[in-house]
Structure 1
Amino acid sequence: MNTRIPRRVLLLGGLAALLSGCASKFRSYNGPEVTRLRMYKAQRLLVLDGADDVLRTYPIGLGFAPEGHKQFEGDGRTPEGSYVIDRRNPDSLFHLSIGISYPNEADIAFAEAQGRSPGKDIFIHGGPRRGIDPVNVRDWTAGCISVTDRQIEEIYAMVRDGTPIDIYA
């Protein structure tokens, strides 16, 4: 029995390994500027607006308690209101992530008046490294907004820090 591997198979396998090693989660974007994000919780939809029209839309997952505005740490809710994209995390446990400026002053004041913490670290992010498919399992986060890994790669490239985001019930 001949156990030699054909040369073409070796070359194609080597090429595939080389290309996969060059793959990156960081994409470039040279299109129109994203001027605002709009998120509609009830419709599970994230909209990226440009100056003249909608640039992209994405289906989303939310916190495990999706209805209502986030008020306290651990409530599983996603905030509602006007915020900005204020940071990015290339080493996120959730593939990539971009941060939302929750809590704002009103969120902090409300929680403190109740003797509680408002929580923090609300992000738009991809799926976790293992275990959950954010497309087929909805509302699994602790209050963040989830999209697929491929989608967060696009969003991460398109959206700049300081971009406003309006989150609607």
Structure 2
Amino acid sequence: MNRRTFLAASAAAGLTGLAGCATSKFRTYDGPAVTQLLAAKSQRRLYLLHYNKALAVYDFQLGFTPQGHKQFEGDGRTPEGAYYINRRNPESRYHLSIGISYPNSADRAFAESMGRSPGGDIFIHGTPKEFDGKADWTAGCIAVSDREIEDIYAMVNDGTPILLTS
């Protein structure tokens, strides 16, 4: 597994394999590879899996219209289905973020058939203080705490599959 660095205080998440120097803001993850992510929308739970074993589980917030599959730009929904992690942003305005490959070709085709844009820029990201404690505030992303996105950012490689279920 590639080593991923992330910004964190040395007392971060308490997961086995997280290591770092107390004087450095950069840490690495050397544990088992995350082979898949599962985002269970109705439970608001994100599972980082090594095959069938959960390495970590996080609560999350969704878009402002949390039920149903994202179809159009601005609908406030979070996608459902099989995607993959396709990019990362260490300079995100939401602390750190990793991108989800929405829209896929079926999402684009459906939106275009309706004369609309499918939207995009769906991420797993941190939570700014002004949204801390608020329910379902994103535009369709998955929001975790800043400390949690630091763990996720370190643990998850680009190309990792993610299944988003209702």
| The two structures share one fold, judged by TM-score above 0.5 | yes
1:61-87 per-position Cα deviation (integer Å, ceiling 9, x unaligned): 000000000000000000000000000
Partner of 2:142: 145
Partner of 2:19: none
- For the structure 1 residues 67 and 55, does the alpha-carbon distance in structure 2 shift closer, same or farther, using more than 3 Å as the test? same
Equivalent residue in structure 2 for 1:158, among 155, 160, 163: 155
Q: Equivalent residue of 1:141, what SS?
A: coil
Where do residues 28-67 of structure 1 align in structure 2 (5 Å cutoff)? 28-67=28-67
Q: Equivalent residue of 1:131, what SS?
A: helix
Partner of 2:95: 95
What value does the CA root-mean-square deviation take over the aligned residues? 1.1
Partner of 1:131: 130
Q: Equivalent residue of 1:119, what SS?
A: coil
Partner of 1:117: 117
> When the two structures are aligned, how many residues end up with a matched partner?
144
Identity rate of aligned residues, in percent? 63
Q: Equivalent residue of 1:27, what SS?
A: strand
1:131 positional shift = 1.4
Contact 1:98 1:125 in 2 (8 A): yes
Q: Equivalent residue of 2:111, what SS?
A: helix
User: d(CA) in 1 for partners of 2:52 and 2:44?
Assistant: 23
Amino acid paired to 2:131: I
1:96 positional shift = 0.2
Q: Which has the higher helix share?
A: 1
The ranges of structure 1 where at least 4 consecutive aligned residues each deviate by more than 4 angstroms after the TM superposition are none
User: d(CA) in 2 for partners of 1:104 and 1:124?
Assistant: 17
Could you list the runs of 5+ residues in structure 1 that have no partner in the other structure? 1-21
Q: Which has the higher strand share?
A: 2
1:51 positional shift = 2.9
1:11-63 per-position Cα deviation (integer Å, ceiling 9, x unaligned): xxxxxxxxxxx552x43100000000000000000000003511000000000
1:98 positional shift = 0.1
TM-score computed with the length of structure 2 as normaliser: 0.84
Say which one has the larger Rg: 1
Could you list the runs of 5+ residues in structure 2 that have no partner in the other structure? 1-22
User: d(CA) in 1 for partners of 2:149 and 2:31?
Assistant: 16
Contact 1:86 1:100 in 2 (8 A): yes
Amino acid paired to 1:153: E
